[in-house]
Amino acid sequence: MDKLIITCAITGAEVTKESNPAVPYTVEEMVESAYQAYLAGASVIHLHARYDDGTPTQDKERFRQIHDAIKSKCPDVIIQVSTGGAVGMSRDERLDVLNINPEMATLDCGTLNFGGDDIFVNTENDIKYFAEKMNNLGVRYEMECFEKGHIDTTLRFIKQNVIKNHLHYSFVLGVRGGMSGEERDFLFMKDSIPTEATFSVAGIGRFEFTLAELSIKHGGHVRVGLEDNIYIEKGVLTKSNRELVEKVVNIAKKYGREIASPAETRRILKMERE
């Protein structure tokens, strides 16, 4: 079994300090949160940009500021920028971040309801457009699949040579409007991807640690972080992203799964740049 890749989704675009004061907004808060998560064992930081008041943005200059500040504190960490942004952003707005030449980015592979009146839109043409841009720029992408239909879309795109990366999936389960995060959901997703693919699991809310444990057991990788979940255990707010990462490290220990460094992560995901 490969060593375990831990991704930390430090802030997201939707969760606020009103829900958990540990959610980072400012550049300084993001850097400290990313650094602490890295020290605890995260080799990948899944990054959204926000302004100091918490407003999400895909503005390349804001992203560059945060990206460069994190890299100067932990130069080897992999920064995976979000091209999902926030609900309601346009295609080109979401893609502005590619102008900073990131090492890795997300590729969202389908549309879904996102709670209340929100719809996170990723049409077939959007996905193609995003994949083609990233192929041309040599940006490595992780395919975010919120339900099984999104995997089926990627399988079509692989056949059509629209998706050309090493195949690395993230199953994001438990979003209100997407697939839930029970064991059967996880197994269905895992068994639906090509055998040569790697995968990580991001459990939203109460699914964060049950899915982390399942993924660790089944040879997958794990994403945790305040973007996805604000509790360390039922009813107890987490103090930090670091605490969430540490909890995964402890689960991994139980199963004898070692933690991948950033260099090992690049090897596992075949992402060394030529």
Residue 153 to residue 105: CA distance in whole angstroms: 18
Q: Based on CB atoms, which residue is closest to Zn ion, 82 or 200?
A: 82
Indicate which of ligand KMH, Zn ion, none lies near residue 144 (CB less than 5 to 8 Å, by partner kind). Answer: ligand KMH
Binding of ligand KMH by 82 (CB under 6 A): yes
Residue corresponding to tokens 């929100």: 118
Binding-site size, Zn ion (CB under 5 A): 1
What CA–CA distance (Å, rounded) separates 94 from 123?
Answer: 14
Q: Which residue is nearest to ligand KMH (CB)?
A: 84
Query: CB 109 → ligand KMH: shortest distance, Å?
Result: 10
Q: Is the CB of 175 or the CB of 259 nearer to ligand KMH?
A: 175
Is the CB of 107 or the CB of 248 nearer to ligand KMH? Answer: 107
Residue 7 touching Zn ion (CB under 5 A): no
The residues facing 45 across adjacent strands are 8, 79
DSSP element (H, E) containing 173:
strand 168-173
**Residue 49 in contact with residue 88, Cβ under 8 Å?**
no
Measure Cα distances from 129 to 83, 94, 122, 161, 207 in Å. Answer: 12, 12, 10, 13, 31
Closest to 172 measured CA to CA, from 216, 125, 211? 211
CB nearer to ligand KMH: pick between 64 and 218:
64
Q: Which two tokens stand for residue 69?
A: 């500040």
Asked whether position 120 contacts ligand KMH by CB under 6 A, the answer is yes
Residue 86 sits in the site that holds ligand KMH (CB under 6 A) = yes
Burial of 26 (0-12, 13-18, 19+ CB in 10 A): middle
Of the candidates 103, 144, 147, 208, which one interacts with ligand KMH according to CB under 6 A?
144
Q: With CB under 6 A as the contact rule, which of the stretches 21-29, 37-45, 83-91, 264-272 interacts with ligand KMH?
A: 83-91
Q: How far is the CB of 25 from ligand KMH (least distance, A)?
A: 15
Beta bridge pairs of residue 113: 119
Residue 106 touching ligand KMH (CB under 6 A): yes
Binding mask 73-102 for Zn ion (x = CB under 5 A): ---------x--------------------
Least distance between Zn ion and beta carbon 89 (Å):
12
CB of 15 to ligand KMH, least distance (A): 9
Q: How far is the CB of 82 from Zn ion (least distance, A)?
A: 4
Measured between alpha carbons, how far is residue 115 from residues 120, 188, 223 in Å? 10, 23, 21
Show Cβ contacts of residue 17 under 8 Å, excluding neighbours closer than 6 positions.
23, 25, 54
Task: Give me the residue label for tokens 């460069």.
Answer: 68
Residues that bind Zn ion (CB under 5 A): 82
Residues that bind ligand KMH (CB under 6 A): 12-14, 82-84, 86-87, 106, 108, 114, 120, 144
